[in-house]
Amino acid sequence: MVDLVNSSMREKVLAIEELMLQQPQLEIPVRHYFSDGVYAREITIPKGVLVTGKIHKYQQLNILSKGELSVWVDENKIERVKAPFTTVSPPGTKRIAYAHEESVWTTILATDETDIEKIEAYFIADTEKEYLEHIKVIEWHSSDRQ
């Protein structure tokens, strides 16, 4: 069990998610939108629901267009936000949020791809290990150019 007092926020989120996965799961459908060079994935989070997001490999834009959430917004802070709210998430972001009221959250990514599986494979890491491997590849390519 993770020491929730002395662990990082990321470790706390992963530990909470592990406990959440032991409970019955609520299906939250994703709505997909495409425009020239832009892909948006939108979810509606019912009131009273705690959710965790995926690990994003690259920076992305997030918009809360409806509702009110307590959401992990930076390294050590959960903030209560109301729509309209927009934030830019850095690479590696994995959010946790509690919906105080029904809320609509949209993540916007720059891509010309329209195949959802390919988009997710490119932009999302399924595990912490996969994200850390992704970072190593990025760092290797960055050092190779210098």
- Is 7 within the bounds of a domain? no
With a cut of 90, say whether residue 97 has pLDDT above it: yes
The answer to whether 117 and 125 have CB atoms below 8 angstroms apart is no
Read off the pLDDT of residues 114-127 as tens digits, 9 standing for 90 and up: 999 999 999 999 88
Predicted TM-score (pTM) of this structure: 0.84
Quote the domain boundaries for residue 38. Answer: 27-139
Judge whether 41 lies within some domain.
Answer: yes
In a domain, 104, yes or no: yes
User: 89 in a domain, yes or no?
Assistant: yes
- Work out the percent of the chain whose per-residue pLDDT is above 90: 58
Q: Report the sign of the C-alpha dihedral through residues 23, 21, 8, 67, in that order.
A: negative
Residue 146 lies in a domain: no
Residue 2 within a domain: no
C-alpha distance from residue 77 to each of 55, 59, 65, 67, 125 (Å): 17, 19, 21, 19, 23
Is residue 17 in a domain? no
Domain count, the chain: 1
Average pLDDT over residues 42-65: 95
Instruction: State the CATH number of the domain containing residue 97.
Output: 2.60.120.10
- Tell me, yes or no, whether 108 lies in a domain: yes
Question: Rounded mean pLDDT of 74-81?
Answer: 82
